[in-house]
Amino acid sequence: MNFVFISPNFPTAYERFCEGLHDNGVNVLGIGDASYDSLSDRLKNALTEYYRVEDMRNYDQMIRAMGYFTGQYGKIDWVESNNEYWMELDAALRTDFNITTGLKSDQIMRYRSKTAMKKYYKKAGVPAARYSQVVDLETAKQFIDEVGYPVIVKPDRGVGALATWRLENDDDLREFFHQIPERPYVMEEYITGVVEPYDGVINSKGEVLFAASHISPNSIMDMVNEGVPVYYYVNKQVAPDIEDAGKRVLKAFDVRSRFFHLEFFRLTKDKEGIGNVGDVVGLEVNMRPAGGFTPDMLNYSQSVDVFRIWADMIAFDESRTTYSGPKRFCVYCGRRDEIPYTHSLEEIGTEYGANLAMMTRMPDALAGTMGNQVCIACFDTMRQVNSFVRYAFVPQKQIPPVEES
């Protein structure tokens, strides 16, 4: 089996996907813009060969790299980056090289376009926020007359919460239209809730090989735009209604042979026409792992190896390892360099050393969303999670309470 991994060195954890494939006997071929010498020894050992391009956004260079690998090793069976930024590139390469193990260019928009996602949520029977294409000021006002302020406006095809606006009134609306970028935007009614994704690996038969869920009490948009505390935690168990909604969405989108990251809201306030407090509402569908160090957190929380589960799915269409360790809450705190916290990193290490799973720096490319300094710890109870979060972020506020157990 010939597997081309796009940008296998970023994020750094993705070298473990390559390592798992290599251990399963897969021919792992890397394409990236980093120099070969800059790759870790771990990644070099996992790769059969690496082709460096000057610019991964130059499609001609990517075509030449793929052509080289085809000439050297025969037909390519898989092309994958597991990275939101390169999903359309992955699809284009699959299309041009007739690779059938993933989405092609004519299929990718169902996962990339926020408006295209809506009909699949409807097919799954999962409610989603009402929306309108951003056309002109008058159309926007008509939509707001229907749903009321606040509203969210964001690129129809965007990554994370970048270039996302929350409009509270007519002044905000006029300001947005005064400086709206020249790309398709969508306007949605505002949903009050916490984000509770369904993350996992699914095989070619539509069987979920692994699934877990994490909860983000603060919105990603507020983390990016308002600088509120960056924290979230992996739950011990997937809530039954999240699992039910997740599996229905996977079926509606006909998801196969993927690492998936399905985002849902759990309402904390009744929303007319959508649902009541506690109900699950569809947000976005992503055909890649959750960002940052979330894959590591899934491992710490669930006592598994998601990199190996994914590699087993690719090579064997099943998971070939049994996992039976403890399940714990795993919490992420992302501290920002510009904020003077009461407790130093050394003090956090002293106070919570037995629970800490990771303390490291976030790559600069992700720090705007996820914070600069990463502190990840595991606990048996939510009371312990809350205490850790409060300790890590003093004197910051805006840390909403979560249910203790």
How far, in Å, CA of 109 to CA of 263, rounded? 17
Q: What is the CATH number of the domain that holds 240?
A: 3.30.470.20
Whether residues 184 and 321 share a domain: the answer is no
Answer yes or no: is 90 within a domain: yes
pLDDT beyond 90 at 159: no
Domain final residue pick, 151, 171, 189: 189
Whether residues 249 and 180 share a domain: the answer is no
CB 34 within 8 A of CB 51: no
- What pLDDT is stored for residue 158 in this prediction? 65
Whether residues 272 and 182 share a domain: the answer is no
Angle between helices 240-252 and 114-124 (to 10 degrees): 110
Give pLDDT tens digits for 122-136.
Answer: 999 999 999 999 888
How many domains does the chain contain in total?
Answer: 3
pLDDT beyond 60 at 286: yes
Structural domain for 332, as ranges: 193-393
pLDDT beyond 90 at 390: yes
Answer yes or no: is 320 within a domain: yes
Answer yes or no: is 123 within a domain: no
Give pLDDT tens digits for 15-68.
Answer: 999 999 999 999 999 999 999 999 999 999 999 999 999 999 999 999 999 999
pTM confidence score: 0.91
User: Is the sign of the CA dihedral 145, 147, 149, 155 positive or negative?
Assistant: negative
372 Cβ neighbours under 8 A, 6+ residues apart: 334, 335, 336, 337, 361, 362
Whether residues 246 and 376 share a domain: the answer is yes
CB 162 within 8 A of CB 253: no
Domain final residue pick, 189, 209, 225: 189
User: Is the sign of the CA dihedral 360, 364, 366, 369 positive or negative?
Assistant: positive
Whether residues 388 and 270 share a domain: the answer is yes
Q: What is the CATH number of the domain that holds 141?
A: 3.30.1490.20
Whether residues 22 and 81 share a domain: the answer is yes
Whether residues 45 and 150 share a domain: the answer is no
Answer yes or no: is 113 within a domain: no
- What six digits make up the tokens of 161? 């919460």
pLDDT beyond 90 at 182: no
How far, in Å, CA of 111 to CA of 287, rounded? 7
- Of 314, 301, 288, the residue nearest 232 (C-alpha): 301
Answer yes or no: is 293 within a domain: yes
Whether residues 144 and 225 share a domain: the answer is no
pLDDT beyond 80 at 397: no
- What pLDDT is stored for residue 404 in this prediction? 58
Whether residues 199 and 334 share a domain: the answer is yes
pLDDT interval class at 303 (50, 70, 90): very high
Q: Residue 21 CB: number of other CB atoms within 10 A?
A: 28
- What pLDDT is stored for residue 400 in this prediction? 56
318 Cβ neighbours under 8 A, 6+ residues apart: 203, 209, 312
Answer yes or no: is 116 within a domain: no
User: Is the sign of the CA dihedral 357, 361, 365, 371 positive or negative?
Assistant: positive
- Of 291, 119, 123, the residue nearest 195 (C-alpha): 291
Whole-number mean pLDDT of the chain? 93
Give pLDDT tens digits for 308-336.
Answer: 999 999 999 999 988 989 999 999 999 99
Whether residues 140 and 256 share a domain: the answer is no
Whether residues 215 and 152 share a domain: the answer is no
Q: What is the CATH number of the domain that holds 101?
A: 3.40.50.20
Q: Residue for token digits 């004519």?
A: 106
How far, in Å, CA of 385 to CA of 402, rounded? 9
* Higher-pLDDT residue of 322, 252: 252
Answer yes or no: is 403 within a domain: no
CB 230 within 8 A of CB 370: yes
Whether residues 183 and 204 share a domain: the answer is no
- What pLDDT is stored for residue 160 in this prediction? 55
Arithmetic mean of pLDDT, 3-8:
98
Answer yes or no: is 56 within a domain: yes
Arithmetic mean of pLDDT, 76-85:
96
Give pLDDT tens digits for 102-153.
Answer: 999 999 888 888 888 999 999 999 999 999 998 889 999 999 999 999 999 9
CB 244 within 8 A of CB 341: no
pLDDT interval class at 180 (50, 70, 90): confident
Domain final residue pick, 106, 121, 151: 106
- What pLDDT is stored for residue 29 in this prediction? 98
